[in-house]
Structures are given as structure tokens and as C-alpha cells.
Amino acid sequence: MFNHISIGVRSLPKSEKFYDAVLGAIGYRCLSADEGSLGFGKKEVRLWILRVEKPLPRNPKSGLHFCFDASSRASVVKFHAAGLAQGGKDNGKPGFRKDYAPDYFAAYLVDPDGYRVEAYCRVR
């Protein structure tokens, strides 16, 4: 359904370190970078990170979060560890979420600007 999404951040260098680490852990990379934006994906940019004056205010009760496909449980674990190492906050340790589905394995972080991000894979 989505071609891409864009989020606004306060500090592009800080976000670049965070997203290079977490998305790199699950197989994505920065495909585009300039003074005002970063674009991440595998073959095409699917996530744009834009430097803006007024990013959305942090709101943990908004329901907004971004979930990224991961290829394995090991990459989900790496995603979580990489995010913590780059200043992200734990929002759910790697593990099965049996209340979602018996094979749903995920980890959750809050990025430096307060966006909630998830890496997930199905373990069959």
C-alpha cells in the first residue's frame, strides 16, 4: 500500500547514526543523503528522514509507530541492541508476541525524536 513514508527530525546527524545502526541490522541502508534528508531502503527509498524545525511532539499514547520487516530473529535482536547503543530507548525487548500471533517475533524502540519503531519477523 505505501510507496514511502517521511518523518521529521530535529537532528539529522543524530538520526543518521541511529537509523544507520538499527536499519542496517535488519538489511536496509541509506540510499540517499543530503543536507536536509536521508532516504533508507533496500533497492528504493521507503523511509525518508527530513530535518525540520518542528517535528511531531513526542506522544507515546498516539498509537503511531513504524514496523520494519526483518529476515530473522537474530536480526531483530541486532536491531534492538543497535538502537540502544545509539541512544534509543527500550520499548519492548526482543521476543515472541504470542498475543499477536504464535510466530510473531519483534522488538521495540523509541528513536531520539520520540518515534516508536519496531522490527519484526515471522518465525515458522
Domain CATH number, residue 11: 3.10.180.10
As for how many domains the chain has, the answer is 1
Assess if residue 70 is contained within a domain.
Answer: yes
For residue 115, the enclosing domain spans: 5-52+63-122
- What counts of helices (H) and strands (E) characterise the chain? 2, 8
Which pLDDT belongs to residue 109? 98
Residue 41 lies in a domain: yes
Distance separating alpha carbons of residues 53 and 23, to the nearest angstrom: 24
Is 58 domain-assigned? no
Domain assignment of residue 33, yes or no: yes
Residue 57 counted as domain residue: no
Is the predicted pLDDT of residue 110 greater than 70, yes or no?
yes
Interacting residues of 43 by C-beta distance below 8 A, sequence separation 6+:
none
| pLDDT at 63 > cutoff 90 | no
Average pLDDT over residues 61-87: 96
Residue-wise burial string across 2-12, b where 16 or more C-beta atoms lie within 10 A, e elsewhere: eeeeebbbeeb
Interval 1-15 mean pLDDT: 94
| This prediction's pTM | 0.93
